[in-house]
A and B are shown apart, each in its own frame.
Chain A
Amino acid sequence: MNPVDKRRREFFGQAAAIAGTLVAPGLMLYEYAQAKAPADPVSGKVRWGMLIDTTKCAPGCRDCVDACNRENGLPGSTRSTDSQWIRKVDLKDLRTGRAVSIPVLCQHCAEPPCVDVCPTGASFKREDGIVLVDRHTCIGCRYCMMACPYKARSFVHEPTTGQKPDVPRGKGCVESCTLCVHKVDRGGTPSCVEACAAAGHGAIVFGDLNDPQSEISRRVRAASTTQLRADLRTDNGVRYQGLPG
């Protein structure tokens, strides 16, 4: 190797190292901008979403449903008047015989019909894409339940007891999956996702759809995924992988 080549190599090596140190803090700042401190208001830069891999979701498994009931203080019974924030729905393609069992919850639409119809503004979408009911303004009219294409909302028919401090709920209001907003605001993950991972299924991925580096973004970029009733153009935050055609 002649001396000129050696100097060149050294120069490029140093330049790469400098570029690396310059880029790394930039990346960290970018990540920091995505994370929200508990005191901060939510930001529209984030779009929370969920990806459910139907090939990993076993028929009869209710781990996510049970975790949801525990976390949110729901009674867990399934009469027609009971609150259900997640339901397991069995689907079968009659032509091929392929069957899947999927959890269906509030799809956290970008264009939520429940918000469109609410007469009091109680049903609303947060900046970060989570669709919620403000129970302080909900009058229990249940228009949102009729408007929801996914049957995701429930009405509380009976007086409640034993509420969780982070999840107030009471008779006369409509409610639905909150994506465990009390945990997400503090940097956590929804309980259904945690339970699914803890049981070793790993069928649900939760994350920021707007962050190209997040696992959910990489997954939806790599594989074909479906939004339920995509024809309604509600642009759901919850996506499914491997649904029968």
Chain B
Amino acid sequence: MKAAGILRAALAAAVLVAGSAAAVVAAAAGPALESARSGPCVEDPKVMRRSHMDFMKHDRDDTVRKGMRAIKHSLAACVDCHASRSDGRVLGSDRHFCQGCHAYAAVKVDCFDCHASTARPAATAAAPAQGAAK
């Protein structure tokens, strides 16, 4: 009886360890997303992952209220660079940049209820052929 109890505990511990190891692997892998169309991001990707919403929220007020159109953290510029090479969008499947990561992190993305989720024509015209490289 006692031995069975010890065995159960050991089994549970093993399952726990295995589970957390799997979680670590999954976290390291991250969501499978298409790479950006061009160049480095406006901030370090680690900073962007954590703070992009704050950057955009700050700069949107500058644009809406003060009419400043050349801001650093612009949602339209995010979309231009991160739009999928196949359909020019950031939403649509878990490979699409915004939807993929938000699905992975289980966070609702409201931006595109109002904002366009497609790249501007000028952006797609400027970098169309980089699609081959992943």
List A residues at the B interface (Cβ < 8 Å): 36-42, 124, 126-128, 132, 134-136, 159-160, 162-166, 168-171, 173, 181-182, 185-186
Contacts and interface: CB of A to CB of B under 8 A. Distances in A.
A173 B76 contact: no
Nearest to A127: B66
Given A41-B62, A136-B64, A185 B114 contact: no
Contacts of A164: 116
Nearest to B57: A136
B69 A185 contact: yes
Contacts of A173: 114
A170 B70 contact: no
B114 A41 contact: no
Given A165-B79, A165-B116, A168-B116, A42 B66 contact: yes
B50 interface: no
Interface in B54-77: 60, 62, 64-71, 76
A36 B119 CA distance: 26
Query: Which range holds the interface residue count of chain B?
Result: 10 to 19
B67 A126 contact: yes
Interface of B: 60, 62, 64-71, 76, 79, 113-116, 118-120
Contact of A186 (B62, B69, B79, B115): B69
B106 to A, nearest CB: 23
B120 A170 contact: no
A163 B116 contact: yes
Nearest to A41: B66
A164 B79 CA distance: 12
